[in-house]
């Protein structure tokens, strides 16, 4: 089968589209999926570059990619909730117990797969798993956001931020978000009540007494976010561990999130899509042969929506 692999960590030049990669076999608690589409996330280039090699070393050569949608073609002996022919989506990166989704077939742990949303295409389904599960975990499990509360979502036009705005609005919260001026109309369409142009305005001078901050940016943005929270508020960051001293001084709970993609989260996400509560924005769809361009777009960090490889 065709697969996008690396033999060594590095820049975009280490990407190899190999034609004769052995098809993976579904292990006991796995399913084999014929991949229709696979989306890119920033973590894919971070894995390629070796940023995660201490925490999660790869056996090389390794197939890249996590987010996936497709059709189940084989089921492992203990994999119970899916059958051959099911239309599924989920996460199957090498660091999460899968065989890598930038390929014609992928083996995925059954616990990271669920039936795909009934609405929408394979491309749209493949764009959802990591960004959708990240937003749900932060807002529903860590922050436990309630109707009428105020939340600041950083990077509201990004993959995770755009999901988070929609989830927070469906709960009935007041949402402020940081985005560039070009994305103002988009984040307002998602429901944002207040938009702060991160290139021109200081969000920490404008917002006070917020119940929660969901940070998808990190660095200075995360540090300044403590100023926005009320005592007893919650900060969740997708990008590193918040400083515990700053958290203590501000009297808030601060969490560095590691997203866990589960069948339950994927089922909930599919329900939110099918009920029309959340929509995913896709910027670019390209074949595996154009994967280097796709990586470049994601690595630059300014795509206008998700970047998806259409494989079948």
Ligand X SMILES: NC(=O)c1ccc[n+]([C@@H]2O[C@H](COP(=O)([O-])OP(=O)(O)OC[C@H]3O[C@@H](n4cnc5c(N)ncnc54)[C@H](OP(=O)(O)O)[C@@H]3O)[C@@H](O)[C@H]2O)c1
Applying CB under 6 A, the residues found at the interface with ligand X are 41-43, 130-131, 134, 154-155, 157-161, 178-180, 183, 198, 216-217, 221, 238-239, 257-259, 301-302
Nearer to ligand X, 72 or 213 (CB): 213
Nearer to ligand X, 271 or 302 (CB): 302
Query: For 236, phi and psi rounded to 5 degrees?
Result: -120, 125
- Tell me if residue 194 falls in helix, strand or coil: strand
Structure tokens at 26: 């579904």
Instruction: Please state whether beta strands 194-197 and 282-286 pair in parallel, antiparallel, or not at all (unpaired).
Output: unpaired
Residue with CB nearest ligand X? Answer: 158
Contact in structure between 15 and 292 (CB atoms under 8 Å): yes
Instruction: Tell me the closest approach of the beta carbon of residue 103 to ligand X, in angstroms.
Output: 21
61 CB-near residues (< 8 Å, 6+ apart): 5, 6, 7, 16, 18
Q: Toward ligand X, which CB reaches closer, 101 or 178?
A: 178
| Closest approach of ligand X to the CB of residue 92, in Å | 15
Q: Pick the closer one to ligand X by CB: 99 or 162.
A: 162
| Nearer Cβ to ligand X (37/72) | 37
- Which pair of structure tokens corresponds to residue 222? 């995360």
CB of 22 to ligand X, least distance (A): 29
CA distances to 76, 90, 183, 203 from 138, rounded to whole Å, are 32, 18, 23, 21
* CB of residue 62 to ligand X, shortest distance in Å: 18
User: Cβ 41 to ligand X, closest distance in Å?
Assistant: 5
- Alpha-carbon Rg for the chain, nearest whole angstrom, is 19
């Amino acid at each position: 089968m065709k697969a996008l692999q690396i033999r060594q960590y590095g820049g975009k030049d280490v990407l190899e589209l190999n034609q004769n990669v052995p098809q993976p076999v579904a292990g006991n608690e796995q399913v084999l999926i014929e991949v229709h589409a696979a989306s890119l996330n920033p973590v894919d280039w971070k894995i390629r570059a070796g940023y995660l090699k201490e925490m999660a070393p790869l056996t090389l050569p390794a197939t890249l990619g996590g987010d996936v949608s497709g059709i189940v073609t084989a089921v492992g002996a203990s994999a119970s909730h899916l059958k051959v022919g099911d239309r599924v989506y989920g996460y199957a990166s090498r660091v999460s117990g899968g065989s890598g989704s930038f390929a014609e077939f992928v083996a995925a742990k059954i616990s990271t797969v669920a039936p795909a949303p009934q609405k929408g295409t394979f491309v749209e389904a493949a764009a959802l798993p990591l960004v959708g599960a990240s937003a749900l975990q932060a807002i529903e499990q860590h922050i436990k956001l309630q109707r009428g509360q105020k939340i600041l979502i950083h990077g509201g036009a990004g993959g995770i931020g755009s999901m988070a705005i929609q989830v927070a609005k469906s709960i009935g919260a007041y949402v402020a978000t940081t985005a560039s001026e070009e994305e103002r109309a988009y984040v307002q369409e998602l429901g944002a009540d207040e938009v702060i142009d991160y290139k021109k305005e200081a969000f920490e001078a404008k917002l006070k007494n917020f119940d929660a901050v969901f940070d998808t940016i990190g660095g200075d943005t995360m540090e300044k976010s403590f100023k926005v929270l009320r005592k007893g508020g919650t900060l969740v960051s997708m990008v590193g561990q918040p400083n515990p001293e700053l958290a203590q001084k501000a009297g808030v709970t601060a969490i560095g999130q590691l997203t866990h993609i589960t069948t339950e989260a994927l089922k909930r996400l599919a329900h939110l899509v099918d009920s029309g509560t959340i929509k995913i924005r896709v910027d670019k769809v390209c074949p595996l042969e154009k994967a280097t361009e796709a990586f470049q777009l994601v690595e630059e960090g300014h795509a206008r929506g998700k970047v998806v490889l259409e494989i079948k």
